[in-house]
């Protein structure tokens, strides 16, 4: 795949990346998890309103949220605690959470009900296909990828989510000035992310290398446990260049 030229902004990467259209390798393995009674009830009662089916055409997100607002998409929100907290703290923004695991979807729905949130929608589907099919180019203000599976064994590196084709697609969905924010607690993956993100012409690093964790990115319970054990955490924040390449 040829990367998009910075002078013209990010292209529609899906048209240029056939490997994203028919992917034989995925960055996740579907796990079977037991739903709690509360999660199952939330899925039944709130799912029809807040969980959206996969669509082959971009959605009218303004209509779905009932307003026009800055829009953030998060890939792999886990159990949704940090997503719900951020949506609560930033009510002026709309959040699209993408997650494949059913207990996590049910857990986020529970938190949404507890916090009275209406600025979150969920898509339970493969994130690459969601970005490719359901999100129009130049429409996101931010895209978050926090602690994706590091696939630490070398033979599994091809499964890592952050790869050149995905980054080009993500950049094409960001508006000029929009931010791609990644975080990992695996140093080798952080170095891989930095190389891939720096190689994408449509993006520029907002700092020299790794960024400080923004105060609004609430550490997840998994991250907090790692920090207590002395693990490092690396944040990377890249900005979509404008049409002039700035």
pLDDT digits over 81-118, tens only? 999 999 999 999 999 999 999 999 999 999 999 999 99
Indicate the average pLDDT of the chain: 87
Q: What is the mean pLDDT of residues 215-220?
A: 86
pTM of the model: 0.85
Confidence of residue 158 (pLDDT cuts 50, 70, 90): confident
Provide the 3-class DSSP secondary structure of residue 213: coil
Of the CATH numbers 3.40.50.360, 3.30.200.20, 1.10.1240.10, 3.40.50.150, which one belongs to the domain with range 6-240? Answer: 3.40.50.150
Q: Tell me the C-alpha distance between 197 and 163, whole Å.
A: 9
Annotated catalytic residue within 60, 149, 185, 188: 149
What pLDDT does residue 126 have?
95
149 is catalytic: yes
Neighbours of 200 (CB within 10 A): 22
What pLDDT does residue 31 have?
58
CA distances from 20 to 5, 56, 195 (A): 19, 14, 20
Q: What is the mean pLDDT of residues 3-23?
A: 41
Q: What is the mean pLDDT of residues 63-70?
A: 98
Q: What distance, in Å, lies between the first and last C-alpha atoms of the chain?
A: 23
């Amino acid at each position: 795949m040829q990367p998009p030229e910075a002078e013209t902004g990010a292209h529609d990467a899906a048209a240029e990346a056939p490997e994203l259209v028919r992917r034989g390798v995925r960055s996740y393995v579907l796990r079977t998890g037991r739903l709690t009674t509360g999660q199952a009830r939330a899925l039944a009662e709130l799912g029809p309103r807040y969980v959206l089916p996969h669509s082959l055409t971009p959605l009218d997100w303004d209509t779905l949220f009932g307003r026009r607002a800055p829009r953030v998409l998060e890939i792999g929100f886990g159990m949704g605690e940090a997503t719900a907290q951020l949506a609560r703290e930033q009510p002026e923004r709309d959040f699209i959470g993408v997650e494949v695991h059913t207990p996590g979807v049910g857990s986020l729905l529970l938190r949404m009900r507890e916090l009275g949130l209406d600025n979150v929608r969920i898509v339970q589907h493969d994130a690459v296909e969601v970005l490719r099919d359901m999100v129009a180019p130049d429409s996101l203000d931010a895209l978050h990828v926090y602690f994706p599976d590091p696939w630490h064994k070398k033979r599994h590196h091809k499964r890592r989510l952050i790869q050149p084709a995905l980054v080009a697609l993500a950049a094409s969905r960001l508006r000029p000035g929009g931010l791609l924010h990644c975080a990992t607690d695996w140093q080798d993956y952080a170095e891989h992310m930095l190389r891939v993100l720096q190689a994408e012409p449509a993006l520029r690093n907002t700092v020299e290398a790794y960024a400080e964790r923004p105060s609004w990115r609430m550490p997840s319970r998994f991250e907090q446990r790692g920090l207590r054990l002395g693990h490092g955490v690396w944040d990377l924040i890249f900005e979509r260049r404008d049409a002039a390449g700035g």
